[in-house]
Amino acid sequence: MQLHAAHGYLLSRFLTPYYNRRTDEYGGSTENRARVVVEICRDVKEAVGPDYPVLAKINCDDFMDEGLTFEECKHICRMLEAAGLSAVEISGGSARSRPNEGAIRKVTADTESYFKKYAVELAEKLKIPVICVGGHRNIGKLTDVVNETKFEYFSLCRPFICEPDLINRWASGDTAPAKCISCTKCFGVPTQCIFNEQNQAQ
């Protein structure tokens, strides 16, 4: 299972100084703002046992004034690792992010894997796996990243909304890039894609 602590959702807002103005043990310092996420992680691990994977998605940076910084992200990831987290996925930004920063940015051939630099640095500091996300559309570029880094895992979202069978297509030898054009029309609506008629019909 994955704890979603990114993109401005509830747990992300605990981590972000802009939103978290609490004056109790769940606000103020980085440790306090991360407390609820750490407690949830620890309690879930105790409930499911050591062999069940518990992941977290967290922003490397909120890309906004008074937002979570990468230095804080690194500290929080170390706290979550100590609490028993199995792996961490590094994303970034939210609806309040500065233009063309964060998870909803446009993707070009030159900007694929746009959170890689943050994930690379974090992977050097953690013992648990770091999952790389950020505009992946091309199996060749993913292969290059595997060969250049310590990453064992990647995360994709919008390409699977457009092409649920994408991995099987690539595995069959058709290595053309994902059909997703990063138009972001699938954001904030029931999950569908303009290229996927079957999903639209449902």
- Burial class (CB within 10 angstroms; exposed 0-12, middle 13-18, buried 19+) of 7: buried
5 phi and psi angles, rounded to 5 deg: -115, 35
Q: Which residues contact 94 (CB under 8 A, 6 or more apart)?
A: 6, 7, 8, 12, 59, 62, 64, 102, 103
Has 9 been annotated as catalytic?
Answer: yes
Q: Which of 31, 30, 7, 29 is nearest to 115 (CA)?
A: 7
Q: CA–CA separation, 153 vs 30, rounded Å?
A: 28
Are 48 and 35 within 8 A, CB to CB? no
Q: Cβ contacts of residue 164 below 8 Å, gap of 6+? A: 196, 199
CA pair distance 131, 111, nearest whole angstrom: 18
Strand partners, 56: 3, 88
Annotated catalytic residue: which of 9, 18, 19, 114? Answer: 9
Residues serving a catalytic function are 9
